[in-house]
Amino acid sequence: MRIYILFFFIFFPLLAFSQSEPKVSFYQGNFQFNGKLGSYKVKRISKPMEGIVSAICKDSADGSVLVVSAPETAGIGITELILPVGTNTRFFGGGEQFSHIELTGKHMPFLVEENGIGRGDKPATRTANLVGAGGHEWSTYCPIPLILSTDNKAYLIENDCYSEVDLTQKGRMRIWVDDDNLRLKVFEANSPKELIQRITEYTGRMPELPDWTYGTILGIQGGSEQVRQLVKDAKAHGNPVSAIWIQDWVGKKQTSIGSRLRWEWKPDDTTYPNFMEFCAEMHTQNIKVMGYINPFLLEGTDMTNEALEKRYIVHRKDGSPYLIPFGGFKGYIIDLSNPQAREWIKGIIKTNMIGNGLSGWMADFAEWLPIDCKLHSGQDPKDYHNRFAADWAKVNREAIEEAGKLGEVVFFSRSGFTGSSGISTLFWAGDQMVDFGENDGLGSAITAMLSSGLSGLAINHSDIGGYTALKFPFFKNYLRDKEVLFRWIEFEAFTPIFRTHEGLLPNNMVQYYTDDETQEFFARFGKIHKELKRYFQKLIKEASETGVPVIRHPWLVCPNDSNCLETDYQFFVGDDLLVIPVTERGQTKVRGYFPEGTWVHYITGTEFMGGRWNEVYAPIGTPAVFKRK
C-alpha cells in the first residue's frame, strides 16, 4: 500500500512517503524488482496522514543539506521529493553510466549491479537474456546518485539504499529513495570545475599514481614461461613495458563451461612456481607485477573452509551459508559487514599478494550481494547492497595503507558507490563487448569515462579491445578482430592507463601479440602514450588536489560554449588535448566540435581553426587527436 503526504518547503518541493515490499529476483549479479529491470514498481494510493513529517534544511561549508524523515513508528518505507529546476537546465553525472552522458529527460535508478551483456545492443542482449544476463541502459557497476546541472548546481542523495531520479518533466526533479528518510546535499559553484572541486571535497579524491603506471601494462597469462616470452617479444618490438597484469596468478579451475580463475587468493605453484622469485625477476627488468582478487571464495578450498568455520561469509536468512552459482562452479561471498572478516581478508591481501611481490591488482566484482541474505551486522541487505561495493574497495585500500605501500601499490576497481572517489586508487570500466556497440562496446567505454569523471572518479580506463566475447552455435558470434583492437588501442593511448586484456575467449580472438603487425601497432601507440607521461602526471596531480578528472567532458573545458553540450563521444585530456575517437566499424572520418583557438593534429601536424565543427580524416593508425596551439 502507498501512503503519502504533501506539503511545501521554502523552495516549494513536493514531498511524499510510501510503503512497498518489492519482490526482488537475482541472477549473475543482475537484479529485477517485480519483474522490472532497474527500478521498483510501486502503486500510488492516496491517503493523507498528519503529524508524521520532520524536515530540516540547513547550510554548511560543503553544501546545503536537506533531511526529510518520518518517525520509525509510522511504518514508512519510501520517501519522494520533487524539486523545482530550471526549464532549460541540462543534467549530467549519475556515476559511471554506459549508455547516456547527458541525463536530461531521463529516469534513472541507482543500484550497484553487473553491467550485463549487450545492455540493449542487438542481438547480443537478446542472446544474453536467454539466461537473464543482458542488462539494460541503466545497469552499471558504479552508480552514484549525484546529478550535476548546467546552472552549476549538484544534488547528491546520501542514502545508501536503492534510489531513483526522474528528470523526464521539464522544470522538476523527482527524487525517490527506498527509506523512511531522505538525505540530500546540494552544492553550488561558479563553474563546473569548481562544482566538481566542491563535491570531491566532500566525497573524497583519488591519490596520485606511482611512476611505473605510466608505461604499457600487458594483460597476459598462461604461466611464468609464457609470460616471460610475451614480455620479451613486446620489448623487442620497442614497447615501453612497465608492468604485467597476470590474472591467473591463482591458477585456473576447469569447469563444465571452460576454464575459470581459481578463487583461492594465493599463488598457484603449478602455473607460477616460486612466485615470489618470479616477481623479483620481473622487478630486475623494471617491470611490476599485478594480480587479481575479488570478494568471493571458491567452494571446497582450505581458505573457504576456514571462512565457513569462522562464519566470515554471507548467510541465508535461515542461517545456512549462502552458496551462489558463478557459472561452472559455486562459491561464497565474504561478509564485509563483519569486522573480523574484513581483517581476515586484509591479512590475506597483505601476506599473499603484497608479501609475494605484487605491486597492484584488479579488485573485481562486489556487485553480487543478495538482497535476501543475512548479514553479520544485522543490517538489512537492501540498505547495505550498494555500500558493499565501496567497502570492498576500502578493504583493499586499507590493506595497502597498513602495509605502508600507498603510493607504490595500486588496485583498480570495477564497482563503487558514493564515496568511492576517496577510496579506490584507480577505476576501470568493466567488461565491454569486443565490438563497436553503442551500449556495451567501444563507445560505451568513452561514455563511462566522461560520466564517471563528472561524478568524481577522476582516473579511469578500460580494457584495450574489450572483454566479453560470445561464441554460440546458431547465434551471431562476437570475437575481437584487428579493427576493434586497433581502434581501441588508439583511444586508450590517450587515457591515463594503457592496459590490455586477453578477454573472455582469448584463444578465439586477435591479441596484441597475434602477429608482427599487431605487435608493431601496439608498440607504436605504447610509445605515444609514454610520450604523454609528464602531461598525465600533471593532470593526475591536479585531480588528486581538485577532483577535476583527467578525461574531461567538453562542458568542463568550455562551459560557456553551448556547442560543447552537443558533442557525443569526443573528450579532452586535460584542457589542451582534444580526442575524437572512431566508434563505428569501417569509419574513416570523424566530425567534432573544436573550441576557439588553433588546434594542431597530434600526428600529422595539420592545423584546424576552432569555434566550428570540423570533419577529419581518421584512417586506422591516424586517430583524430589535436593539441591546443
Determine if the pTM surpasses 0.85: yes
| Backbone phi, psi, residue 601, to 5° | -60, 125
| Equal CATH topology for 14-202 and 554-628 | yes
172-177 and 78-84 beta bridge pairing: antiparallel
Contact (Cβ atoms closer than 8 angstroms) between residue 151 and residue 87: no
Q: What is the CATH number of domain 554-628?
A: 2.60.40.1180
How many other CB atoms are found less than 10 A from the CB of residue 171? 11
With bands split at pLDDT 50, 70 and 90, how would you rate the model's confidence at 155? Answer: very high
pLDDT score of 77: 74
DSSP string, 536-595: HHHHHHHHHHH---SEE-HHHH-TT-GGGGS-SS-EEETTTEEEE---STT--EEEEEE-
Catalytic residue among 264, 299, 364, 502: 364
**Per-residue pLDDT at 55 exceeds 60:** no
How many other CB atoms are found less than 10 A from the CB of residue 617? 12
Active site residue 367: yes
Active site residue 431: yes
> Does CATH number 1.10.1060 belong to domain 14-202?
no
With bands split at pLDDT 50, 70 and 90, how would you rate the model's confidence at 130? Answer: confident
Whole-number Å distance between alpha carbons of 461 and 438: 17
Helix axes 224-236, 516-531, angle to 10 degrees: 70
Local structure of 196: helix, strand or coil: helix
**Positive/negative CA dihedral, 196, 202, 204, 205:** positive
| Backbone phi, psi, residue 119, to 5° | 55, 30
Catalytic residue among 121, 160, 367, 438: 367
- E strand spans, 285-433: 288-293, 296-298, 315-316, 324-325, 330-333, 360-363, 373-374, 410-413, 427-428
Active site residue 364: yes
**Per-residue pLDDT at 308 exceeds 90:** yes
| Backbone phi, psi, residue 503, to 5° | 90, 180
Contact (Cβ atoms closer than 8 angstroms) between residue 324 and residue 295: no
For residues 479-503, average pLDDT: 98
Q: Where are the domains of the chain?
A: 14-202, 211-293+342-550, 554-628
Contact (Cβ atoms closer than 8 angstroms) between residue 403 and residue 348: no
Helix or strand (DSSP H, E) at 614? strand 612-617
| Backbone phi, psi, residue 40, to 5° | -70, 165
Secondary structure (H, E, C), 78-92: EEEEEEECCCCCCEE
- Expressed in percent and rounded to 5, the helix, strand and coil fractions of the chain are 25, 25, 45
- Category of 611 on φ-ψ map: left (φ > 0), alpha (ψ -120 to 50) or beta: left
Whole-number Å distance between alpha carbons of 340 and 532: 44
Least confident of 74-78, 197-201, 309-313: 74-78
For residues 369-384, average pLDDT: 96
- Mention every residue, 6+ apart, whose C-beta is less than 8 A from residue 328: 255, 256, 257, 258, 260
Helix or strand (DSSP H, E) at 461? strand 460-461
**Per-residue pLDDT at 281 exceeds 90:** yes
> Does CATH number 3.20.20.80 belong to domain 211-293+342-550?
yes
Segment 12-41, tens digit of pLDDT? 355 555 555 555 666 677 776 554 444 433
Question: What is the DSSP secondary structure assignment for residue 179, as one 8-state letter?
Answer: S
Catalytic residue among 158, 178, 248, 431: 431
| Backbone phi, psi, residue 628, to 5° | -70, 130
The closest alpha carbon to 93, from 42, 146, 50, 40, belongs to 146
**Per-residue pLDDT at 266 exceeds 70:** yes
- Category of 357 on φ-ψ map: left (φ > 0), alpha (ψ -120 to 50) or beta: left
Least confident of 80-84, 98-102, 452-456: 80-84
- The C-alpha cell at 463 is 580494457
pLDDT score of 16: 56
Whole-number Å distance between alpha carbons of 36 and 310: 37
The closest alpha carbon to 465, from 446, 492, 447, 439, belongs to 492
Residue 27 amino acid letter: Y
Mean pLDDT of the chain: 91
Half-sphere exposure of 554 (CA within 13 A, CB side): 22
pLDDT score of 80: 86
Whole-number Å distance between alpha carbons of 433 and 465: 9
**Per-residue pLDDT at 8 exceeds 60:** no
How many other CB atoms are found less than 10 A from the CB of residue 190? 9
Least confident of 39-48, 454-463, 495-504, 610-619: 39-48
pLDDT score of 47: 31
**Positive/negative CA dihedral, 46, 48, 54, 55:** positive
For residues 310-318, average pLDDT: 98
- The C-alpha cell at 570 is 569526443
- Category of 323 on φ-ψ map: left (φ > 0), alpha (ψ -120 to 50) or beta: beta
Residue 66 amino acid letter: L
How many other CB atoms are found less than 10 A from the CB of residue 404? 10
**Per-residue pLDDT at 430 exceeds 50:** yes
CA distances from 534 to 215, 323, 496 (A): 12, 48, 11
pLDDT score of 21: 53
For residues 435-455, average pLDDT: 98
Whole-number Å distance between alpha carbons of 217 and 196: 30
